[in-house]
């Protein structure tokens, strides 16, 4: 009895009976998304939150945002974007009454482009540049195959410092300007990689077209591009994608050489062509090439000849009968390019030669006659006239200086440099030599006459003193400046006259000085009279096609000097200064603007300074003033 009661008590108070309280699990957000995922200002999107609860609890949704407005409730709401473009955050809190889960995401709000479309008419061309020097800016407009559009390629894309014979690769892009756009972005992908922005700015140089050149190019890669336009708070969607993967080989020029002077009105041009003959060549299915000649003086195309291949290597200027005749005195540029087209006939590759220049000119012939009279047949005489030691040496110095000259783009030399010295330089011989030396000259030629020796002024007329003159000779034995002008005016073309005519009995280097008082007064006005005669002849229109450029050794109230040093040859101060400035000693100090030319004005200024540096009061005279005419070139 007692045992039974004990068992019952054990049963009643056993710890193995009853049920444990349930465990609550938090809800889980599976997705939080918007449809559409990006919208314009003031537009709406549907946002959905998908969540689960393994306990089967009823879930509630609490939404928040950093801007805009929310309508609706539960797992799906409508969000209206604000009026300001930007990035906004939407958050959702899911609760089962005890536990929660939270997620958020951002949504891009933009302002649609005014036109509502993408950048259009995007074209890309693979450009191969071959050149030997930096060229001036000029534009060559090429047609984009069958498209009724054109592509302007500016030579500034060839302005890299590239060694002669090197070739570089560039991709040129063009697209139509987008209304209301303030700037553009160019996106690029290399060999299929992600697109990145490589340009951000405004490359539109007109109201119609925009140009961009990608210079970070390696041949063999594949490049893909698209362009977007944007404003203060909007950007267009990606537009047309263009791809470049093939470049043409380089082409280069042969003749005429760069900076040549051409006299043939129908010159022959030769070049090394691209040379591709088998197609397709990569992405290139068809081809053509050209010869292009551009008049830089008039800034217009002169000749443009096309060839249906990439093999043609020679053409004459007007072989198609459409060229504008070359104009004397004009500078020209020429080149030859090859073009490659894709299977649809669109231009996708250009191979550009270097640009070479030429100058079209009539044949310019340079001639010179140098006369130096130091040993006079009848000096010394009773009037006190003496011989001059310097003129024969001055003639040699002048001949050598002129012989160094190289004029123009073709480095034209003097065709003739003749001379008369001392006993050869009679009046008859001087006038006859002027006529014979310059007998072949035409209106395009340049003739130099140089004289060093005694001069005389008598009866208001200036004279040169030939070797056979003396103080007892009649005036007819001298060469009046009028006779000299008449002899020179018979020569067509431009005349350059250098006169180192003076009376000098002083040898400064020896400390010996003698002056003939009779001829000193006559000398004072000699050089002034020379200038007056030449300027007067032009003012009277006596020379309708001829031109004079004159340098004389001193002012009308001065005498001029020669120096006979203790060592070395005697020299005329004026002549030595002129020759020194114009290359006699190997340099050209008179070329102050370093353009490889010595102008009449530069020589005049240099001689003045040179003479002053010797402490000599002797002022060179010039006609005309401030002339840029080139008297020496190297």
List strand residue ranges (DSSP E) for 527-614, in order.
547-552, 562-563, 571-572, 597-599
Higher pLDDT, 384 or 90: 90
Residues of the chain with CATH 2.60.40.1080: 28-110
Residues of the chain with CATH 3.40.50.1460: 366-633
Out of 1.10.10, 2.20.25, 2.60.40, 3.30.360, the CATH code matching 252-360 is 2.60.40
Whether 152 shows a pLDDT value over 60: the answer reads: no
> CA 369, CA 350: separation in Å to the nearest integer?
54
CA neighbor of 371 nearest in space, from 445, 440, 456, 428: 428
pLDDT classification of 502: cutoffs 50, 70, 90: low
pTM: 0.49
CA neighbor of 144 nearest in space, from 170, 185, 172, 119: 172
Mean residue pLDDT across the chain = 84
What class, spelled out in words, does domain 123-244 have in CATH? mainly beta
What are 450-474's pLDDT values in tens digits? 999 998 877 777 788 999 998 889 9
- The whole-number pLDDT of residue 617 equals 86
- The whole-number pLDDT of residue 61 equals 98
CATH of domain 366-633: 3.40.50.1460
What are 554-567's pLDDT values in tens digits? 776 667 889 999 99
Whether 537 shows a pLDDT value over 60: the answer reads: no
- The whole-number pLDDT of residue 536 equals 52
What are 397-416's pLDDT values in tens digits? 999 999 999 998 678 899 99
The tokens describing 223, both together, are 């490049």
What are 265-291's pLDDT values in tens digits? 999 999 999 999 999 999 999 999 999
If you average pLDDT over residues 359-369, what whole number do you get? Answer: 90
Alpha carbon of 472 to those of 468, 475, 477, 540: distances in Å? 11, 9, 10, 35
> CA 90, CA 88: separation in Å to the nearest integer?
7
Whether 551 shows a pLDDT value over 50: the answer reads: yes
pLDDT classification of 34: cutoffs 50, 70, 90: very high
What class, spelled out in words, does domain 28-110 have in CATH? mainly beta
- The whole-number pLDDT of residue 390 equals 96
> CA 212, CA 153: separation in Å to the nearest integer?
10
Higher pLDDT, 320 or 19: 320
Share of the chain above pLDDT 70, in %: 82
SS3 326: coil
- The secondary structure of 78-115, three-state, reads EEECCCCCEEEEEEEEEECCCCEEEEEEEEEEECCCCC
CA neighbor of 297 nearest in space, from 327, 269, 325: 327
The answer to which of 63-67, 308-312, 535-539 has the lowest mean pLDDT is: 535-539
């Amino acid at each position: 009895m007692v045992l039974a009661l004990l068992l019952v008590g054990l049963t009643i108070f056993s710890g193995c009976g009853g049920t444990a309280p349930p465990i609550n699990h938090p809800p889980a957000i599976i997705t939080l998304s918007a449809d559409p995922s990006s919208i314009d200002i003031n537009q709406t999107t549907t946002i959905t939150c998908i969540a689960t609860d393994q306990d089967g609890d009823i879930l509630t949704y609490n939404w928040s945002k950093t801007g805009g407005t929310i309508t609706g409730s539960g797992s799906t709401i409508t969000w209206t974007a604000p009026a300001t473009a930007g990035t906004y955050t939407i958050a959702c809190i899911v609760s089962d009454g005890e536990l929660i889960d939270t997620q958020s995401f951002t949504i891009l709000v933009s302002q649609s482009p005014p036109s509502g479309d993408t950048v259009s008419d995007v074209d890309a061309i693979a450009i191969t540049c071959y050149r030997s020097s930096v060229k001036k800016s000029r534009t060559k407009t090429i047609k984009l195959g069958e498209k009724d559009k054109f592509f302007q390629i500016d030579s500034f894309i060839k302005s890299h410092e590239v060694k002669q014979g090197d070739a570089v690769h560039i991709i040129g892009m063009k697209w139509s300007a987008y209304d209301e756009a303030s700037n553009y972005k160019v996106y690029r992908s290399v060999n299929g990689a992600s697109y990145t922005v490589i340009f951000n700015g405004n490359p539109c140089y007109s109201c119609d077209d925009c140009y961009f050149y990608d210079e970070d190019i390696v041949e063999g890669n594949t490049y893909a591009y698209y362009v977007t336009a944007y404003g203060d708070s909007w950007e267009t969607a990606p537009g047309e994608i263009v791809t470049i993967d093939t470049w043409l080989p380089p082409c280069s020029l042969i003749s005429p050489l760069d900076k040549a002077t051409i006299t043939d009105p129908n010159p022959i041009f030769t070049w090394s062509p691209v040379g591709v003959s088998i197609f397709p060549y990569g992405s290139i299915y068809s081809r053509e090439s050209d010869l292009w000649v551009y008049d830089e003086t008039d800034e217009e195309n002169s000749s443009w000849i096309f060839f249906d291949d990439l093999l043609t290597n020679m053409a004459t200027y007007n072989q198609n009968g459409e060229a504008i005749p070359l104009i004397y005195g004009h500078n020209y540029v020429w080149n030859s390019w090859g073009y490659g087209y894709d299977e649809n006939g669109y231009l996708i590759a250009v191979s550009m030669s270097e640009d070479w220049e030429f100058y079209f000119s009539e044949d310019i012939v340079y001639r010179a006659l140098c006369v130096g009279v130091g040993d006079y047949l009848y000096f010394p005489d009773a009037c006190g006239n003496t011989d001059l030691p310097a003129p024969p040496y001055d003639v040699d110095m002048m001949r050598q200086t002129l012989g160094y000259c190289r004029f123009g783009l073709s480095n034209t030399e003097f065709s003739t440099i003749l001379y008369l010295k001392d006993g050869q330089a009679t009046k008859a011989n001087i006038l006859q030599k002027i006529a014979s030396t310059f007998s072949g000259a035409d209106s395009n030629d340049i003739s130099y006459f140089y004289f060093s020796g005694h001069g005389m002024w008598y009866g208001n007329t200036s004279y040169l003193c030939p070797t056979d003159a003396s103080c007892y000779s009649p005036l007819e034995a001298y060469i009046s400046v009028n006779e000299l002008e008449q002899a020179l005016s018979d020569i067509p073309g431009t005349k350059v006259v250098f006169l180192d005519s003076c009376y000098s009995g002083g040898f400064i280097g020896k400390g010996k000085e003698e002056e003939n008082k009779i001829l000193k007064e006559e000398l004072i006005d000699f050089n002034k009279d020379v200038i007056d005669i030449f300027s007067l002849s032009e003012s009277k229109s006596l020379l309708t096609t001829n031109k004079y450029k004159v340098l004389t050794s001193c002012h009308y109230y001065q005498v001029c000097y020669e120096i006979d040093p203790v060592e070395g040859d005697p020299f005329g101060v004026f002549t030595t200064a002129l020759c020194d400035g114009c290359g006699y000693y190997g340099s050209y100090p008179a070329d102050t603007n370093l353009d490889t030319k010595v102008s009449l004005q530069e020589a005049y200024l240099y001689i003045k300074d040179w003479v002053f540096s010797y402490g000599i009061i002797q002022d060179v005279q010039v006609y005309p003033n401030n002339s840029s005419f080139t008297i020496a070139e190297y």
